[in-house]
Amino acid sequence: MVAMRSLPTATSVLLTLAFATGCGDDGGATVCTPGKADVCPCPGGEFGSQMCKDDGSGYEACMCPGDTTGPTTGITTTASATAGSTSDGTTSSGSSTGGTSTTGAGSSTGGASTGMASTTGAATTGGGTVKWLQNDGFMDGAAVGVQQGFVQGECWASVYVPDPGDYPFQVTGVQAIIGGSMETATFNLRVYEVDGQNTPTNILDETDIQVMGSDQAFNEADFDTVMLQKPVITSGNFAIAMCFTTHSGVPAIARDTDGTITADRNWIFAQGLGWVQSQTLGLQGDWIMRARIEPM
């Protein structure tokens, strides 16, 4: 399972998820799936999350924005903002990928490791300076939109355009906000070559990884740890993709909500269409997925 690194804590979860039948323990009347997380109403019109008890007899207490007690979900929250959540109801034509939910964010630290180390920003290693390439404009405290509507077999991809001074380098890791659900899901992680239009073409390597969905943390995969080859890039662009192998819907990739998108760097592999720019399906915002590179 990939590691989760804390990011600003989301103040709400997807509005389009089915509400739980009740918050807290109702004396065994509520039947639920053990370990499954559902949304629950909170004061002020916000929404939180609650975990089904191990015996399936009911739900634990509702965890509302700002709560620091309750069921453990792998993230330690120390603060939260008061932003709300809205669903923009975006739909797409020619693909099942449609519908987004916008989630506000605050501030948080901590987070339990799930098997892999995490880094942020630039850091010095034995091989030189680590650099993160990104297309998104996500900043601390900003809202994110979790993209709903993916079905099994579909993928999202981000294309990265390095600076001339970055070459040659190795691609050594990836981090992304994958939310909408706290369930664990399997994704196929791939590194692609791209053509002159930045369309993903040849797969350089791929591997399956397990991701615990979270609106509160980056999921980060180190290529050595997940046994993915670290491609050497001497010129041109490349892409990283994640594909749905065993589930549909959420957890899924989030996009930024700054109102801009770089069309040829955000892609969807949609059933019946192949690789298409996400913007052509009516989506706005850059995927919040970043590539880690290290100089040779």
Name the residue among 75, 95, 121, 71 with its Cα closest to residue 248. Answer: 95
| Closest by CA position to 195, among listed 282, 274, 287, 288 | 274
Q: Identify the band that residue 7 occupies on the pLDDT scale cut at 50, 70 and 90.
A: very low
pLDDT single digits (tens) 196-205: 999 999 999 9
pLDDT of amino acid 55: 74
Q: For the segment 221-264, what is each residue's pLDDT rounded down to a tens digit? A: 999 999 999 999 999 999 999 999 999 999 999 999 999 999 99
50-107 pLDDT, tens digit per residue, is 556 777 677 677 665 544 333 322 222 222 222 223 233 333 333 445 565 555 543 3
Q: State how far the alpha carbon of 197 is from the alpha carbons of 66, 87, 88, 97, 193, in Å.
A: 44, 32, 30, 22, 11
Residues 211-219, mean pLDDT to the nearest whole number? 90
Overall average pLDDT of the 261-269 stretch? 99
pLDDT at 140: 78
- Whether the pLDDT of residue 41 is over 60: the answer is no
Task: Provide the whole-model pTM.
Answer: 0.66
What pLDDT sits at residue 127? 52
pLDDT tens sequence across 92-146:
333 445 565 555 543 333 332 232 323 334 444 445 689 999 999 998 778 899 9
- Predicted confidence (pLDDT) at residue 151 exceeds the cutoff of 70: yes
pLDDT number for residue 189: 99
Task: Pick the closest to residue 244 from 271, 282, 280 (CA basis).
Answer: 271
Which pLDDT score is estimated for 94? 38
Instruction: Of 89, 85, 36, 43, give the one whose Cα is nearest residue 66.
Output: 43
The C-alpha torsion from 116 through 117 and 118 to 122, rounded to 10°, is -140
* Residue 260, number of CB atoms within 10 A of its CB: 12
The pLDDT of 163-192, averaged and rounded, is 98
Confidence of residue 279 (pLDDT cuts 50, 70, 90): very high
On the 0-12 / 13-18 / 19+ scale of CB atoms within 10 A, 233 is buried
At residue 250, the pLDDT reads: 98
What length is written for the chain? 296
79 versus 160: the higher-pLDDT residue is 160
3 vs 91 pLDDT, higher one = 3
Rounded CA separation 237/84 (Å): 37
Separation CA 293–CA 296 (nearest Å): 10
- DSSP secondary structure letters along 25-92: --TT-----TT-EEEEE-GGG-EEEEEBPTTSS-B---B-TT---SS--S----------EEE-----
Q: How many other β-carbons are positioned within 10 Å of the β-carbon of residue 2?
A: 26
Structure tokens at 65: 């924005």
Residue 257 sits at φ, ψ, to 5 deg, of -130, 35
Higher pLDDT, residue 296 or 81 = 296
pLDDT tier at 163, thresholds 50, 70, 90: very high
Q: How confident is the model at residue 184 (pLDDT cuts 50, 70, 90)?
A: very high
Give CA angle at 140 (11, 189), nearest 5°: 85
Q: How far apart are CA 145 and CA 108, in angstroms?
A: 19
> Higher confidence at residue 3 or residue 294?
294
In this prediction, residue 216 carries a pLDDT of 75
